[in-house]
Every structure is written in C-alpha cells, then in structure tokens.
Amino acid sequence: MFKQIELDQITANPEQPRKFFDAEKHQELVQSIKQVGVLQAVAVRPVEGQGAPYMLVMGERRWRAAQDAGLTSVPARVIENMDDQEAYILAITENVVRADMTILEEAGAYADLAALGWDAKKIADKFGKSETHIKWRLGLLTLRPEVATMVDEKKIKPNLAWHIAQCSPQHQIIVANRYVRGDFDSEADAANFAQGLRMAEQQTSLITEEAPSVEDQEKRKKEKAKAADKLTRVEAILPLLEELTKHKPEDLATILGTELGRYVREIDRLVNRATLARRILRQANGLAEARETVAATARKATAADIAKQEPEAPAQAAARANAPKSVAPRVRKLAAPAPKPQAPGTKAPAKPAEPVKA
C-alpha cells in the first residue's frame, strides 16, 4: 500500500546496517529533492512503542534529505506483517545492491546474518555474491578500529585490508600507517609485507633461535654470494635490451629477416620469467622487512622491560638503607629434658662410674 506520510510520523530503524552517510552525496540529494521532489517512495512498516507509528525499512537517505530539503511528508510504501529480522534483511539487500554501505558496514551486516545461522553460501546466494566475497568481507572484522576507519575512508583498498586483517593488532597499524604514508611502491608490496608479518608472527623461532654456527654462517655467506652473482648477471641483460630498442623496426626486419619470430618467442619467455622472478623477489623482500620489524618490536619490548626495572633498583637500595636494623633474637637456654619414664619391668640404666681419684 502506498500513501503520503508525514515525516514526523516516521522513525529511523536503530538496527539500520548502514551507519555512514556521505555528506557530499547527501547535499546532492537534498538539492535534487528541492527541484523535483522524492521520486522513489521509502518503505516503512507499522510499529508500536517507537515514538512514531512507522519505522523505516528502506530509504533512510531519502528520508533524511527530504527533511533537510524542507518537505513535511514523503511517499511511502507500507509493508504490513514484517518482523525485525525480515526488515533487517531487506535493509541489507537494498544497501548491498546499491553499494551504499561502507565495506566494514557490509561485513558487519554479513556477520549479523551469520549469527542468525546463515552460512556463507546462503548469504552469497541472497545477495548475488560469491562465497569468497562473503568470506573476505567477514575476514575484515578483525581489523583494529583505526585501520577500519582508514578502509571506510577508502585510504586502504579491500584487498590490502584483508591481508592487513590477518596480522596481529600491533602489526596491523604498522602496515596501514606505512601504506597511507606512501612507504611502499605498490599495493602488492604492502600486501607482501603484511603476509611476511603474518609468517614471522607464526615462526617464533625467528626471534628465539640460537646463533648460527660457524659452518652455517659460512654456508649462508656462500648462498648469498651465489644469489647476488645471479642477479648481477641479470642486470647485465638490461644494456643489451636497451641497445636493441634503439634499432628501428625496419632495420631489424632487414637484419634478422625470418629469424625475428624465434627472437620474439625468446623475449616472451624472458618477460614471463622476469615477471615471476620479480613477484618472488617482492615477496621475499616483504618477508625480510617483516622479520626485521618483528625483531625490532621484540627488541623494543625488551628494552622497555629493562627500563621499567632499572629505576626500581635504586629505590630498593634506599628502602634497604632506611629500614630498621634487624636485631638478633635472644637465645633462651632450655632446661635439660626430663628422663623418659621406664617401661614396667625394666631396670633403670646404671649410673656412669665416677672417675677414680689418683
């Protein structure tokens, strides 16, 4: 049933999954309503004890904008016999379909449905999403509030946010701040760093392991030299490619003729291998930086513990100096124990013989 309802007869849904309303878009809608009115009706349901006879199901943004535009009523579709859960699901559907919610609001809405017993497949089918999408959104709910705000403000993209969410809270803020500050060359590098932190957190032996033996140190030195030699030889290819690009296509066609096809295929292989090597090196770099970050965090924590304990030593010494000197307890001489009573029928022990006088 559609009807015109006074704005003060409608109350917002306190369980509305959407909490953030873009101020700029709100003003655009206000101006549009001033010019052409509310073109799409809001949806409401009858309620009792809420301060107004109707509660919004869909269209809170239009309802808010209509108030700021100076309207006194809005067109509304009244939905009868709808309970709180049905109203909530309908509100989620509208916001997800229109992409009006922030990423964290969307994740929170899915979590509420999961709490009602919905699995990822049911949620995905309901909103036309993949199960992977639902699970990735749910994975964002472990983000620290400060990092979640960065995501909602679109300073951090969803894919990177998911990788950050896998880290411990103390490392989440490190990755987020470094990314927002521009410390990484790309989003992929930031994700590699986050993955490295996660691995380093799981491998506690990185911090607690014993110092490598002389043999291990020598082995690592040789492996490092070998890897560095390979990368140096790769660098030698760059001048050759730069020299090649200086030739005009027509000159190369004349020089190489039909052999060009073979060289093109070799270059393609080189590009593919170089792309793979770059990805591996970036992942390795992320892990190396992560290990150093975890180690630095541990060193900082240890230094803080030591600093906390050091001021206590003088205080304890002063307390001992000012303490009253302890007095040794007086030793009271005890009387010799009385002889034990003899058992009936036994003879008393003979007295020791007195020494013979000379």
Written in H, E and C, the secondary structure of 140-159 is: HHHCCHHHHHHHHCCCCCHH
Strands 54-58 and 42-46 turn out to be antiparallel
Written in H, E and C, the secondary structure of the chain is: CEEEEEHHHEECCCCCCCCCCCHHHHHHHHHHHHHHCCCCCEEEEECCCCCCCEEEEECHHHHHHHHHCCCCEEEEEECCCCCHHHHHHHHHHHHHHHCCCCHHHHHHHHHHHHHCCCCHHHHHHHHCCCHHHHHHHHHHHHCCHHHHHHHHCCCCCHHHHHHHHCCCHHHHHHHHHHHHHCCCCCHHHHHHHHHHHHHHHHCCHHHHCCCCCHHHHHHHHHHHHHHHHHHHHHHCHHHHHHHHHCCCHHHHHHHHHHHHHHHHHHHHHHHHHHHHHHHHHHHHHHHHHHHHHHHHHHHHHHHHHHHHHCCHHHHHHHHHHHCCCCCCCCCCCCCCCCCCCCCCCCCCCCCCCCCCCC
Catalytic hit among 60, 94, 106, 289: 60
Assess whether 60 carries a catalytic annotation: yes
* Residues carrying an active site annotation: 60
